[in-house]
Amino acid sequence: MTFQIDKMHAGDVPEVMAIERESFETPWPSSAYRRELYENEQAHYLVLRMSERAAAAADPAPRSRMEVPERRGFWSGLLAHHRIRDIAPAPPDQVTLAGYAGLWLVIDEAHVTTIAVRPAYRGRGLGELLLVALTEIALDINARWLTLEVRVSNEVAQGLYRKYGFRPSGVRHRYYSDNHEDALIMWTDEIQLQPFQQRFAELRNDLRTRLLANGDIAPEEGAP
Task: Give the contacts of 159 (CB within 8 A, at least 6 positions apart).
Answer: none
Domain containing 87: what range? 3-144+190-213
Domain-embedded: residue 223: no
CATH number, residue 61 = 3.40.630.30
Asked if residue 154 belongs to a domain, the reply is no
Query: pLDDT tens-digit profile of 143-192?
Result: 999 999 999 999 999 999 999 999 999 999 999 988 899 999 999 999 99
Number of domains observed in the structure of the chain: 1
- Beta-strand ranges (E) seen in the chain are 3-7, 43-50, 97-106, 109-117, 145-151, 167-172, 183-187
pLDDT reported for residue 90: 65
Strands 109-117 and 145-151, by their bridges, are: parallel
- What is the band of 75 on the pLDDT scale with cuts at 50, 70, 90? very low
- 149 part of the active site: yes
**Can 25 be counted among the known catalytic residues?**
no
> Using one digit for the tens of pLDDT, what is the confidence trace for 97-150?
999 999 999 999 999 999 999 999 999 999 999 999 999 999 999 999 999 999
Given 20, 36, 136, 149, which residue is catalytic? 149
Asked whether residue 139 is domain-assigned, the answer is: yes
89 falls within a domain: yes
Q: What is the pTM assigned to this prediction?
A: 0.83
Alpha-carbon torsion angle 109, 173, 180, 101, nearest 10? 10
**182 located within any domain:** no
> Residue 162: inside a domain, yes or no?
no
The angle subtended at Cα 24 by Cα 23 and Cα 30, nearest 5°, is: 95
Is the pLDDT assigned to residue 67 strictly greater than 70? no
27: in domain: yes
Task: Choose the catalytic residue: 33, 100, 121, 161.
Answer: 161
